[in-house]
Structure formats: C-alpha cells, structure tokens
Chain A
C-alpha cells in the first residue's frame, strides 16, 4: 500500500480547498479565476462520511487566497474547508461565509435583465443568507444560487 500513501500530493505553500461536493472542483477553479494561475492539484470523487455524493479537493500551489476569494466558494460549496499552508504546515484554518456582494462571476437568470441584453456587468447583493438568495442590482429580482449560473470571469 506504500504507493497509495496519498492520493493528492501535499503542498509546501498555498491553499487547500477540501470538502467540495463532487463534481464541483472545476467549477470552484473557474469561480476563482484560477485556470491560468500556476500549479494546481485536483482530486475528484473521494469518499466522505459527511458528503454522501463524494468530495473533491483542490490544492493551489504558492498562492494564498484572500478572504474575498475563498468566500466566493460558499456560493456553491458552503461546507468547503480552507487551509492556508506555509512551509508544509497549516498556517490558518479558515471559515467561509457568503459574500455580501457578487460581481461578474454569476449570471442573472432573467433574460430581460440589462446584464443579459445591454451588456451591464453582473452585480448581486446578498438578499437572504439562510436561503442563499441574491438580488440582482439591475433587474432587482432575487435568485437562488445555482452552480450553472456561476461562470468563468
């Protein structure tokens, strides 16, 4: 079993995002705009006692994500955990919470919204933290956050 000691390499410096519900790892990377940001290790479909559908893990090397960045993960993975790693040790275990506003990364589902017709950049304000609903600053409709509304920057 020695060759299976770890399934995802540990990192010396960077950010580990664990407990992402499968299969949202790639979506998380896209939300964070990390596609071209250097080395990343991605694990998909690990067994998890807490997450019956399995969990994904993303390890971002040599980059300490900011609170604003990691909070975006709460939009689709509110139970994800964040560890900031420095010199091979856990420097910080971080809680994530829904951001009070969301720009650019989420699309408005209203086809008659200025963001979809006139080219306004999307901008949502948190409406209800418990229900995870956001209000579009333009058409003012509230929407539940769904993974397919979240797109790359």
Chain B
C-alpha cells in the first residue's frame, strides 16, 4: 500500500484494495474516539466551484472536529473566477494558503488537473459526472459497520444507474472486494455497458432487472437507492410513471425481507417514502453522518496527522 501522506485523493480508480481497507479501518478508530486532534495546526481550503452545501458542511465539520482550521468559497460567483481568473491560477494561489485542498467543480477532471498543478494534496469532492470518492469511502465504511465485512454480500442498486456517479464508483469498489450485485432500473437508465463489461472481466456475478418485485428472491442484504432526476425525461408524465415504479415503501420492504438495509446518498426526494425512515431497515441518515469520521480520517491520513 502506498503511503497516504501528501497523496491526492482524486478517483476510486487510483485506490488499491488495501487503500480502501486502510481508510475504513482509520474511520472506525476516529468514530470510536480513539484518534483526536490530529489536524491541529493544519489548514484546509474547501473550494466549491459548484454549490453543494451538504458535502461542504460535512468536510468543514470534519476539520473542526479534528482540531484543524478551514476556509473556502461556497459558490463560484463569490470567487475571483467570476472576474476571469483562470482555474489554474486560482488553484496555484490558494495552495500557498493551506495544507490540503478540497475541490468540487462541475468540470470532469478538474480535481485531477488541480492535483497536478500543486504540491499539497487535493481531495476531490465531486467533479461533474465523474467521481466523488469520499462518498464511496463512507458507503464502504457504513457497509462494514453494519455487516462486519465488505465482501460476500448481496447488494442491490436501484434508480438512475446510468448517470449516477455514486453508483458507478460504488460498483467499482464493491467489485474489488467481491460481492454479488443486482441492478434495478428503467431500461433508459441502466448501468452503462462499459461498467458491466468491467464486472464480466472481474467475474463478478450480477443481475439486471426492471422491477423491484423481481428482486424478492434475490435475498438482498442491502438496497442502495438513488434519485431519478426529472430532467432525464422529456415527458413529465413519463417521469411520474417511472418515478412511481421505483418508490420504496414499507410494503415493498416487506416483500424484500426484514433484514434488508436501505442506503441512499441523499438528498432524497420521494423515492423512499417517509414512513420507511423509522424502520430498522433505514440506515441512510447513519450513512450520511458517517461522512464526518470518513472525511476526518482521510484528511488526517493525507496531511500526515494520522499514520
């Protein structure tokens, strides 16, 4: 395993199995309170060239909880980019003000580019439709926390599997560990063929289906639900029809098994009925809160505050 110190975290594709295990193990120690104050004297910049309140707040909370300082921009109109400064110049300049940089940008590859321009580590907090690695790390940590393992599980993914970067990165990671996957989506939003081919190459068993009811005999351990976005459909009526089909209620959970855990990257709209929130199956708020220790652990590792 390569050391994490001074290393940029840009894509799940850069991570080895040992890297992922190390992040999950370190997160576990942070969550238990075994590691504290490891960002003392370190300054983190959060540069959000595209608004994402929840991810930004999660990173900022992680910095405060570990004793570090944080500053940043929350939207592009407040930055010098709106005055015409190039992305490269902004990144080079701010790199002199901080020890680690967290970047979210609507352009795919922006974080990779930033990591090549500067000497301090860059953490990708989302680059367009491409990657959002810390979401995958917190998903893995949550799975491990619930099941005590990240392999040999039966995991369903439902919703927009075509455009959702979260499910693409998670599929990649789950395949590395070795899991059985079930993809449930409307035909127009299926998992891209390229990803299915990668699974074939890794000999990962998977099933694709259109109806959640068809998964009733799949004995799923986890159902990972994602939002189907209205803008993917030209016809609003067609959207309503499709969205209704992929809505999770207490009744559908009963069909899938009492032990099923339900995950969601949030924000949720109406793909999971609120009545589900109070069931023991719903772990999506625990999942969201796990973003804090996960980001604490990662910031600690790349700044050298944690070994």
Known A-B contacts A119-B86, A140-B11; the reply to A112 vs B128 at CB < 8 A is: yes
Q: Report the bound CA distance from A118 to B107 in whole Å.
A: 8
Q: Report the bound CA distance from A111 to B116 in whole Å.
A: 21
- Across-interface contacts of A115 in B (CB, < 8 A): 109
- Whether A137 contacts B112 by the Cβ 8 Å rule is yes
What does the 1/0 interface line of B75-90 toward A look like (CB < 8 Å)?
Answer: 0000000000011100
Q: Report the bound CA distance from A118 to B131 in whole Å.
A: 17
For B, the interface residue count at a CB cutoff of 8 angstroms equals 19
- Across-interface contacts of B110 in A (CB, < 8 A): 114, 118
Closest to A108 in B: B109
- Whether A114 contacts B131 by the Cβ 8 Å rule is no
What does the 1/0 interface line of A36-74 toward B look like (CB < 8 Å)?
Answer: 000000000000000000000000000000000000000
- Whether B88 contacts A114 by the Cβ 8 Å rule is no
Residues of A contacting B: mostly:
loop
For A, the interface residue count at a CB cutoff of 8 angstroms equals 16
- Across-interface contacts of B106 in A (CB, < 8 A): 112
B130 at the A interface (CB under 8 A)? yes
- Across-interface contacts of B255 in A (CB, < 8 A): none
Known A-B contacts A114-B107, A139-B128, A140-B108; the reply to A120 vs B113 at CB < 8 A is: yes
Within 8 A of B (CB), among A86-133: 110, 112-115, 117-120
Contact partner of A140 (CB less than 8 A), chosen from B86, B88, B116, B131, is B131
A81 at the B interface (CB under 8 A)? no
Within 8 A of A (CB), among B78-135: 86-88, 106-110, 112-113, 116, 127-131
User: Shortest Cβ distance from B108 into chain A, in angstroms?
Assistant: 4
Closest to A114 in B: B109
Closest to B108 in A: A139
- Whether A140 contacts B113 by the Cβ 8 Å rule is no
Q: Report the bound CA distance from A137 to B86 in whole Å.
A: 21
What does the 1/0 interface line of B47-60 toward A look like (CB < 8 Å)?
Answer: 00000000000000
- Whether B131 contacts A138 by the Cβ 8 Å rule is no
User: Shortest Cβ distance from A139 into chain B, in angstroms?
Assistant: 4
What does the 1/0 interface line of B1-33 toward A look like (CB < 8 Å)?
Answer: 000000000010100000000000000000000
- Across-interface contacts of A110 in B (CB, < 8 A): 108
- Whether B88 contacts A118 by the Cβ 8 Å rule is yes
- Across-interface contacts of B131 in A (CB, < 8 A): 140
Q: Report the bound CA distance from A87 to B278 in whole Å.
A: 84
User: Shortest Cβ distance from A129 into chain B, in angstroms?
Assistant: 13
A82 at the B interface (CB under 8 A)? no
- Across-interface contacts of B87 in A (CB, < 8 A): 118-119
Closest to A110 in B: B108
Closest to A115 in B: B109
Q: List 27 A-B contacts (CB under 8 A).
A: A110-B108, A112-B107, A112-B108, A113-B107, A113-B108, A113-B109, A115-B109, A118-B86, A118-B88, A118-B107, A118-B113, A119-B86, A119-B87, A119-B88, A120-B113, A120-B116, A136-B109, A137-B112, A138-B108, A138-B109, A138-B112, A139-B108, A140-B109, A140-B130, A140-B131, A141-B108, A142-B194
Q: Which 6 pairs, one residue from A and one from B, show the smallest C-beta to C-beta distance?
A: A138-B109, A114-B109, A139-B108, A120-B113, A114-B113, A139-B109
Not counting A118-B107, A120-B116, A138-B109, a sample of 15 additional A-B residue pairs whose C-beta atoms are within 8 angstroms of each other reads A112-B129, A113-B108, A114-B109, A114-B110, A115-B109, A119-B88, A120-B112, A120-B113, A138-B108, A138-B113, A139-B108, A139-B128, A139-B130, A140-B109, A142-B194
